[in-house]
Structure 1
Amino acid sequence: MPRLAERKDHPLSMRLPDADIAIIDRAAMLRGRSRTDFVRDAAVRAAEDVLMETLPVRMSAASFDAFMEALSGPPVPVPEMIELIRRPAPWETSATSED
């Protein structure tokens, strides 16, 4: 008798109010995705964010000392950041010039 292939997908079922479904469907449509793909990607992204916030960072003692030295040293200006901070915000400039 042939063996059935082991299924690797796991179903996930949720009960959501109509308003939640409507907003999910609208966002999925705007991205050109199915509801399932949209929700799966959003859930996985949220899970990865939580894991990244809680996973310890491991490094050697020498690397930790270098990291602490870099943090303890004087700040070093980054020219690109200075230019960005000095640049007027888009709402502070005229989008169209009236000549």
Structure 2
Amino acid sequence: MTAMTERKDFPMSMRLPESDVAIIDRAARLRGRSRTDFVRDAAVRAAEDVLMDSGLVRMSAESFEAFVSVLAAPAAPVPELVELVRRPAPWEMPTEDGR
């Protein structure tokens, strides 16, 4: 008698228009991935986004008040971001020819 092994992969099948398959294949090639890997990663990422967006956060009234007070407090400056904002954009800097 052979031991039953638990299935780890489950096949999925879908019907797509040729134009959808063509764009998926093109994108997968650009990423150096197979169609299956590309579609699986995209589907899992989309599912994770939906689940993260639909998560319910529960907290006590005291915790909510603390949360709101943190949001309402003035933001503390981040020195690296202040320097970045003050730095001229690349298109604002003079070029080698002085323009």
TM-score by length of 2: 0.75
User: How far, CA to CA, are the matches of 1:46 and 1:62 in structure 2?
Assistant: 34
Amino acid at match of 2:16: L
The answer to whether 1:9 aligns with 2:18 is no
Give the percent of matched residue pairs that are identical in Structure 1 and Structure 2. 67
Unpaired stretches in structure 1, ≥5 consecutive residues: none
Q: Per-residue CA shift, 1:36-90, capped at 9, x if unaligned?
A: 0110000000000011001012445544332111112234343444444455555
Alignment root-mean-square deviation, CA: 2.4
Name 1:67's counterpart in structure 2.
Answer: 67
Assess, with a 3 A threshold, how the Cα gap between structure 1 residues 29 and 93 changes in structure 2: closer, same or farther: farther
User: How far, CA to CA, are the matches of 2:79 and 2:18 in structure 1?
Assistant: 50
Name 2:20's counterpart in structure 1.
Answer: 20
Assess, with a 3 A threshold, how the Cα gap between structure 1 residues 45 and 82 changes in structure 2: closer, same or farther: same
What secondary structure is seen at the aligned counterpart in 1 of 2:33? coil
- Structure 1 residues 73-84: aligned runs within 5 Å: 73-84=73-84
Q: Matched residue pairs, number?
A: 97
Question: In the TM superposition, what is the alpha-carbon distance from 1:98 to its structure 2 partner?
Answer: 4.2
Amino acid at match of 1:49: D
User: How far, CA to CA, are the matches of 1:75 and 1:33 in structure 2?
Assistant: 43
User: How far, CA to CA, are the matches of 1:51 and 1:26 in structure 2?
Assistant: 28
What secondary structure is seen at the aligned counterpart in 2 of 1:69? helix
